[in-house]
Structure 1
Amino acid sequence: MSKIRINWKRLLLLFAAVFVILQIVGSFFFYELAVKRGPKEFLQKNTDLEVSDKAMDLFLNGEWIDWVAAQKFEHLTLTSRDGLKLSGYYLPAAKPTEKLVILTHGYLGNAKQMGLFGQHYYNDLGYNIFMPDARGHGKSEGDYYGFGWPERLDLIDWTHYLVKKLGPDTEVAYHGLSMGAATVLMASGEEELPSQVKAIIADSPYESVYQLFKYQMNRMFHLPAFPMLDSTSVLTKMRAGYSFREASVLKEVQKTNVPILYIHGESDTFVPAKMAKNLYQQTSSDAELLIVPKANHGESIALDEDKYKMAIDHFLNRYIK
């Protein structure tokens, strides 16, 4: 009977080669899936993004839509530090004021969707409002989504632009939703953040891009984060200029001096509320936390609009004249 000899060295090399190939293929797959600009059909069937009928009616049929359509926004453009042409929409308050809110939208959204919040700032609080399209979204250039990290510098540059336009006594509030919330929080700890930024409202933020993807890989694909997420991060660093671990909200709020109001839905299964709670606990500045019962991702304003607006109003009254 003949004996079969196993060449372990060749076998190990084969396994290593297969492993490397799988990492490369998987990295490109997940980059195309989440980071590269384009439609994301996989999210259309994601049950974690299902919202109540009340929220859906507000998002699709709310009076804010007609309000946005009726406004005469000034279309502004800005060239980013890496040469992208960015787009945004400015609306001066009905009465002259030094108060300005910059509203930052979520993943796959666009600037004017933030009119849902802008209407309150404009009609009820008398703010100038500005709504930028994040890079890779709307009319802004860019072939990838930065999940807040490169956008934080865009936001800072937009703020400098608007302060120059409106005057150095301008008092600025940031209000972001989901990826937009991560954006404003990532900007909060930067040394070059303009001193005019007095308050930040973050609705449904995540702790970091790595933690968000780690959670989603397990929930949607039942896969561990390592090593696929790390190899995708390396590819993202090469193609989009940032890594998932460096894109940290937590590190920024640990060094910020800007007051922050966190808002999160208690029943959020896309970005769990524990992320906002941890950010709140780790924030180095004055911070408040509003958890809205039964609200899923981004629907807090729909399920308890009065409490949502009251929390914003009280918070801003403490820090903006």
Structure 2
Amino acid sequence: MKKKKIAYISVAVVAALVLLTFGAGWFMLDYALKPDEGRRDTTAFYKQMRQEYPWTTPWLDSLKHAGALRDTFITTLGGERHHALFVRNPRSMGRTAILVHGYKDCSIRMLPIASIYERMGYNILLPDLHAHGLSDGNDIQMGWKDRKDIIRWIYVARGMFRSTTYQPRMVLHGVSMGAATVMNVSGENLPDGICCFVEDCGFTSVWDEFSRQLGDQFHLPDFPVLHVASLLCKLRYGWTFGEASPLSQLGKQHTPMFYIHGTSDDYVPSAMVLPLYNMNPAYENKADKTLRYNDIWLTPGCAHAKSYHDYPYEYERKVRNFVSKHVGM
């Protein structure tokens, strides 16, 4: 009788631990991938952007006054509507910049960087990622499934900015989760005209980033919560934290890539940029088929996603030099 009682207690304890672990994994998944309730509040995003980047206000006001900053929507294969802002540039000569925002941000937050490309003469397309801004969706995709949406936007941009004189030439530039997105895109089969990428403070994989946040915010090890949350993500959304890996995507081909990361970034640790760079340190020069080293810039003292804010002139100069080298003038 005593042995049975011990067995029942043991089973109950194990069952409770399993339920507790799955509950913690479910909580983590919702905590990480649930969209922000205020994601459609464009007024708040514009206000925040103007406060953080006041030097962009005259440019933004001029765009709005001229009606040059416009909206467009596409319908996904799943029937959801995705939104983007765009600006046509009469000096583009076929050049377009697709700019991708970060976690729980939206297209509006990329307007300061868009001003760089507008001054360079580029058309600009700023998508709202799935479940961000004015785009539909109930789950944040952490740049993984987003890569397919951005490839769709590439084709939209080719049609939207079509020129009878010039061939399309594009740069993809992302910040934070947007940087992870463009790195994920770089590993796919892409249409002609994708010339280069700029990744600003992207992470190596969703697993690595969530592991960091699990430790920093909740002081928990990876096992078992992260493993369970990843399994639940596979069951609910069709992908795991481990497979969502910009690091792996970079290893698929040699790609012109500019790597930017703040040295004081403690959200996506600055140490992540080194394995990313080492996975794709060079690209093949089309003219002579030789390998050339990619650019990397560690911005001194910068926190997460603050490189342009803290070093606006240097940031623009370096981006101009890199992009012009690959896209052309």
Q: TM-score, normalised by structure 2?
A: 0.86
Work out which of the residue numbers 295, 309, 316 in structure 2 matches 1:309: 316
Name the count of aligned residue pairs. 302
What is the CA-CA distance between 1:270 and the residue it aligns to?
A: 0.5
1:225 aligns with 2:232: no
The answer as to 2:210 corresponding to 1:213 is yes
Shift of 1:73: 2.1
Question: Which residue identity does 1:304 align to in structure 2?
Answer: Y
Q: Deviations over 1:162-186 (max 9, x none)?
A: 1123338110000100000000001
Q: For 1:26-84, what per-residue CA distance to the aligned partner results, in whole angstroms no more than 9, with x for missing partners?
A: 122112211112349xxxxxxxxxxxxxxx99753513245334422231111223332
Map 1:160-175; keep pairs closer than 5 Å: 160-167=155-162, 169-175=167-173
Instruction: Provide closer, same or farther for how the CA distance between residues 96 and 280 of structure 1 changes in structure 2, counting only shifts above 3 A.
Output: closer
Distance in 2 between residues matched to 1:57 and 1:236, nearest whole Å: 32
* Counterpart position of 2:35: 37
Matched ranges for 1:107-256 at <5 A = 107-123=103-119, 125-167=120-162, 169-191=167-189, 193-256=190-253
Shift of 1:4: 6.0
Q: Secondary structure at the match of 1:149?
A: coil
The answer to whether the 8 Å contact 1:65/1:116 transfers is: no
Stretches of structure 2 that go unaligned for 5 or more consecutive residues are 39-47, 284-293
Shift of 1:296: 0.5
Q: CA deviation at 1:275?
A: 0.5
RMSD: 2.1
Distance, in Å, in 1 between the alignment partners of 2:58 and 2:138 is 30
Alpha-carbon deviations, 1:193-212, whole Å to 9, x = none?
22211110000000000100
Residues 24-63 of structure 1: matches in 2 within 5 Å? Answer: 24-39=22-37, 60-63=52-55
Query: Which residue in 2 is equivalent to 1:106?
Result: 102
* Structure-2 separation of matches of 1:57 and 1:130: 18
Alpha-carbon separation, structure 2, partners of 1:268 and 1:31: 24
Quote the offset at 1:7 in angstroms: 4.2
**1:77·1:88 contact (CA, 8 Å) conserved in 2?**
yes
Name the CA distance, whole Å, in 2 between partners of 1:10 and 1:304: 63
- In 1: Cα distance, 2:19 partner to 2:280 partner: 41
Moved over 6 A (4+): none
The one-letter code sitting in structure 2 at the alignment partner of 1:99 is R
Give the 3 Å change call, closer, same or farther, for CA 9–195 of structure 1 in structure 2: farther
Check whether the contact 1:97–1:128 (CA below 8 A) recurs between aligned residues. Answer: no
Structure-2 residue corresponding to 1:43: none
Instruction: Identify if the C-alpha distance between structure 1 residues 157 and 228 changes in structure 2 by more than 3 Å, giving closer, same or farther.
Output: same
**Mapped partners of 1:4, 1:289: distance in 2:** 67
Deviations 1:130-172 (A, max 9, x none): 1010110110000111110011000001001111233381100
TM-score (norm 1): 0.88
Percentage identity across paired residues of the two chains: 28
**For residue 293 of structure 1, what is the aligned residue in structure 2?**
300
Q: Distance in 1 between matches of 2:235 and 2:81?
A: 21
The SS at the match of 2:29 is: helix
5+ residue gaps, structure 1, are: 41-55
Residues 88, 161 of structure 2: 8 Å contact kept: no
Structure 1 counterpart of 2:257, from 233, 257, 260: 260
Q: Is the contact between residue 204 and residue 271 of structure 1 (CA under 8 Å) also seen in structure 2?
A: yes
Q: What code does the residue aligned with 1:313 have?
A: R
After TM superposition, give the deviation of residue 284 of structure 1 in Å: 5.8
- Write out aligned runs for 1:4-43 (5 A): 7-39=5-37
Query: Aligned partners of 1:68, 1:150: CA distance in 2, in Å?
Result: 31
1:18–1:171: structure 2 CA closer, same or farther, 3 Å change rule?
Answer: same
Is 1:58–1:302's contact at 8 Å kept on the other side of the alignment?
no
2:145 alignment partner, SS class: helix
CA distance in 2, matches of 1:245, 1:264: 22
